[in-house]
Amino acid sequence: MELLRGRKGLIFGVANERSYAWHIARALLDAGACCAFSCLPGERNEARARFAIEALEVEFDPWIRPCDASRDGDLDRLFLEYERDHDRLDFLIHSIAYADKQWLEPGRFAETPRADFLQAIDLSAYTFVAMAHRARPMMKASGGGTMLAMTYIGSERVVPGYNVMGVAKAALECSARYLAADLGRDGIRVNTISGGPLRTLASSAIKGFRSILSHDERRSPLGRKVEGGDVGGAAVWLVSDWGRGVTGETIHVDCGVRMMGI
């Protein structure tokens, strides 16, 4: 399938082969897109990300740059380097989030310190706004494009232990809607994908995550847990012209769990 042939974009958040960002990259590459990548700084983080990205078996030497998205200087440098090395920007994938794991336990939300609360909002939500601001000129020059961010149902409903991450994801989803309103005239669509729980480095910080996985599998109308490829396919749809009329939306890819009442 060459649905995305000629499209080029930047993906934030490939940590290993289990991350949603990795599965999205796999699907975009399979559809013919050219993907560039950003990873967390640090020798260990960069080595792990490169190993995962090389496992995608891309047909070219992958473009990978470290970036601390909480630092404006890092984001400025990254987007300048991307623009120097690429002639267009058609898509931006935001799949990063962070909260101190000591506050990701059932019953501890009220104890969340101000600094840790604000840090979760900054890294999980504001970074998408900061990236969108820097991506906008090049994406507009490319004739428009798509920005996507990953979220989770803990933004809408209480998921025990998700705590401040739920608040941060709610801020991310709301930010995406305001970005969609701001950037639409430039031909830029902005959406979020609410994926079901997936065993990743980030989810391992949530106490009781195994019970969340088993709970979703029991409640799913499809009788199974979500897979990374499910979200990857949704990303291809939204990035492609098939999703050209969709913006400001949160697309739930969770095997139907969200619709279930009991």
Catalytic positions: 152, 162
**What residue type is 98 in one-letter code?**
Y
* CA separation, residue 38 to residues 4, 43, 149, 189, 241 (Å): 20, 14, 15, 21, 25
| Tokens encoding 55 | 């496992």
- Helix extents (H) in the chain: 20-30, 43-54, 72-85, 114-121, 127-141, 164-183, 209-219, 228-239
Instruction: Find the angle CA(121)-CA(145)-CA(176) to the nearest 5 degrees.
Output: 25
CA nearest to 169, candidates 133, 199, 223, 206: 206
Q: Cβ-count burial of 141 within 10 angstroms (0-12 exposed, 13-18 middle, 19+ buried)? A: middle
Q: Is 83 exposed, middle or buried (0-12, 13-18, 19+ CB in 10 A)?
A: middle
Q: What is the dihedral of CA 95, 148, 183, 245, to 10 degrees?
A: -170
Q: Which residues pair with 253 in a beta bridge?
A: 195
Cα end-to-end span (Å), the chain:
39
